[in-house]
Amino acid sequence: MDQVPSERIRNVAVVGGHGVGKTSLVEALLFHAGAVPRLGRVDDGTSTCDHDPDEISHHLSVDLTLAACTFDAGAAGTCKLNLLDAPGEADFAYQAACALAACDLALVVVSATAGVDARTEDVVEAAAALGVPRFFVVNGIDRDRADAEAVLTQLRDRFGAGIAPLELPLGGPAGVTGVIDLLGDNVVTYPGDGTTRGTPGPIPTELVAAESPVHDALVEGIVVGDDGLMERYLEGDTIGFDELERSLAGGVATGAVFPVVCTSATSLIGIDRLATFIAEVGPSPLARSVTVSAGGDAVGVAPSPADEPLLRVVATRTDPYVGRATLCRVLTGSLTGDRTLVNVRTRADERVHAPESRLGAASIPLGTVTTGDIVVVPKLSGALPGDVLAPKGSPVEVIEPAFPAPDPPVLATAIVPRTSSDDDKLMGALHRLCEEDPSLTVSRVDETHQSVLAGAGEIQLALAVDRLARRFGVTVDREDVRIPYRETVTTEATAEGRHKKQTGGHGQFGVATLRIAPLPRGEGFAFVDEVVGGAIPRQFIPAVRKGVEEAMSAGGQDGYPVVDVSVACVDGKHHPVDSSEQSFAQAGALAFKAAFAEAQPVLLEPISMVEVTVPAELQGDVLGDLSARRGRVLGTDVDERGRQVVRAHVPTAELARYAVDLRAITGGRGRFRAEHARYEPVPPAVAARHGASAAQR
């Protein structure tokens, strides 16, 4: 692939909800550019971007995929498109955020039939937070029940006055045949024979009256940000197409104007115009400045091919055949041949060898890589998403553009290896999966003796388990994550523990009398020596304490660890020959168990502090659901977007599937965070149920 100048590179993140046609739209753009000889289909498993076996079998984009091509953009010359096809499922929202962070323009794809959904709102919010300009693409305008005008109304209602429709569908009862070009004041029709080139023509007479006010509103929306053009427009001057396009490009770059175009990725309607809009109106990489920190001082760097190279890692993948492949954006500078850079996070050297472009699964060798390009670098050893690769001797931290951090995981599953061989390889394979997708986390919970994989949703976790087997040869089963219940006492009790054993020769003898009492919640454990008169020699007191601690760890009546207990050793007996540390450890454990049974023990459950964010109209449904989960609402607030923020204390056991349930209750518009708050006694009915389950373990 020939390198084009930085100003003619267009880095585009294709984002939106699941099923809106993002991958098909990328396929159509590649076909229009001549990068693929035929139009692949997601349903057939032949699309360029969905090439992973998981994606083909599930008809679902799972990975962030680069599809690069060059095409003739007319007056704009030969342009290079770096299209990042991002998954649409909410489970993979972090990958969409990484795509936005790497690109200069977001194509937000919206279904012409389903309209604006929760994922549309999410990706627009993420793009706005990262300062990425947006195009909206209303896709599937030729489908049954498509209503592009209704979708435009939704876009205006949700995202404000900056929405600027550049096109409307053209067609009637026989079907959509093209688009009405509101900017050029004409129509473009398509032959429907598998070609992407439309034919311009005059607006039909019967549509002039309806199109004219929409055209005027579009022109007003474009010139309002340019005082000179606005003055000429108000004076009745006709603003030319080229001037409107330049003003539109300025509005797009500043995030004041959000153009809307209409397409059908399967029928190839509007694809040529979309490619031209991207080339002529989309920002170039040189428009995105870089702010770095060197020695503690923030310094602005204008991207330039003449500078030393500075790379940002966007994503990593492990291919079973070619090894590790790392997707990077060149923030500034150029790469030619081999180059050793420094990973600013790890301070380790990384050899940047043979960078390449990608067309889905196909590798395209590159010679010189210039500022703003997005490339794949093979065999980087330790680079992770967000890392910066800088020249040796001058490592810098990149402040802007910012790179997103994954949200905390909200759904977890326990992983159980099937064989000892799987057990040996499990943690290494899990950590490699988490390197590829940092929104996944893995932990070993000593209290419940489980390996726990946590992420954003059920689909993500299920695919991660599949990939453990397919990529790393590790087969596992899933089980519910056990809740770390605990036990404590509610009153004071005293008991004696006697350990006596005679086996010939020296025997074992130890007697300890313990008094136990409850401690305030969260205090843990306290041990007091109140023995007087040498009933227990001082050297054996630590052994009594050790026995108590072992008994507490082994669990109370229900088998859960005991906490928040004060233990006083008040009396005992010893034998000058047969007493030993082991004897008093056993006596201490026996005394504690006897006293615990008399001290009215209770089961404690973990309580989480939950913060749920939902649209105001859904607050009642969420409050009712939290109440059904034994939650106690602490209060509500309103965030900067007018959404309700509900704070509540909820038993952790009731949150195991809350991520899935909240998504169903709110249509994907609800979000929550949870963190451990404290332990509280379990209600008697619930405690009886958990006691039975503990006895079965």
- The pLDDT tens digits for 108-142 are 999 999 999 999 999 999 999 999 999 999 999 99
How many CA atoms are closer than 13 Å to the CA of 384, on its beta-carbon side?
17
pLDDT digits 0-9 by tens, 645-687 = 999 999 999 999 999 999 999 999 999 999 999 999 999 877 7
Mean pLDDT of 500-514: 84
Which pLDDT belongs to residue 320?
Answer: 67
Tokens of 197: 């080139």
Closest CA to 653 of 602, 599, 594, 607: 607
Mean pLDDT of 213-221: 83
Residue bearing tokens 């992770």: 384
CATH of domain 603-696: 3.30.70.240
pLDDT digits 0-9 by tens, 155-195 = 999 998 789 999 999 986 678 999 999 988 899 999 988 88
What is the reported pTM? 0.89
Give phi and psi for 329, each to the nearest 5.
Answer: -110, 135
Region label for 412, one of left (φ > 0), alpha (ψ between -120 and 50) or beta (otherwise): beta
Q: Where in the chain is the domain with CATH 3.40.50.300?
A: 7-284
In the CATH hierarchy, which top-level class contains the domain 486-599? alpha beta
For residue 682, with 0-12 CB atoms within 10 Å meaning exposed, 13-18 middle and 19 or more buried, which class applies? buried
Closest CA to 272 of 283, 282, 261: 261
**Fold of the domain spanning 290-400:** Elongation Factor Tu (Ef-tu); domain 3 (2.40.30)
Closest CA to 518 of 485, 541, 493: 493
Q: Where in the chain is the domain with CATH 2.40.30.10?
A: 290-400
Which pLDDT belongs to residue 208?
Answer: 85
Which pLDDT belongs to residue 527?
Answer: 97
On the question of pLDDT at 412 being above 50, the answer is yes
Which pLDDT belongs to residue 661?
Answer: 96
3-state SS assignment for residue 231: helix
Please state, rounded to an integer, the average pLDDT across all residues of the chain. 91
Which pLDDT belongs to residue 695?
Answer: 44
Q: Where in the chain is the domain with CATH 3.30.230.10?
A: 486-599
pLDDT digits 0-9 by tens, 15-48 = 999 999 999 999 999 999 999 999 999 988 899 9
Q: Could you tell me the pLDDT band of residue 641, with boundaries at 50, 70 and 90?
A: confident
Which pLDDT belongs to residue 691?
Answer: 54
pLDDT digits 0-9 by tens, 300-326 = 888 989 888 999 999 998 876 678 899
* CATH homologous superfamily for the domain 411-479: Elongation Factor G (Translational Gtpase), domain 3 (3.30.70.870)
Q: Where in the chain is the domain with CATH 3.30.70.870?
A: 411-479
On the question of pLDDT at 634 being above 50, the answer is yes
On the question of pLDDT at 526 being above 90, the answer is yes
Q: Could you tell me the pLDDT band of residue 13, with boundaries at 50, 70 and 90?
A: very high
Mean pLDDT of 573-590: 93
Which pLDDT belongs to residue 227?
Answer: 78
Q: Where in the chain is the domain with CATH 3.30.70.240?
A: 603-696
The distance from CA 424 to its chain's CA centroid, rounded to whole angstroms, is 28
Mean pLDDT of 248-273: 93
Mean pLDDT of 78-85: 95
469-506 burial, b at 16+ Cβ within 10 Å, e below that, comes to eebbebebeeeebbbbbbbbbeeebbbbbbbeeeeeee
- Cβ contacts of residue 172 below 8 Å, gap of 6+? none
Which is higher by pLDDT, 690 or 282? 282
Which pLDDT belongs to residue 692?
Answer: 47
Closest CA to 459 of 51, 143, 88: 88
**Fold of the domain spanning 7-284:** Rossmann fold (3.40.50)
The distance from CA 124 to its chain's CA centroid, rounded to whole angstroms, is 15
Let me know: does 662 contact 674? Beta carbons within 8 Å.
Answer: no
* Percentage of residues of the chain with pLDDT beyond 90: 69
The distance from CA 384 to its chain's CA centroid, rounded to whole angstroms, is 15
On the question of pLDDT at 696 being above 60, the answer is no
For residue 144, with 0-12 CB atoms within 10 Å meaning exposed, 13-18 middle and 19 or more buried, which class applies? exposed
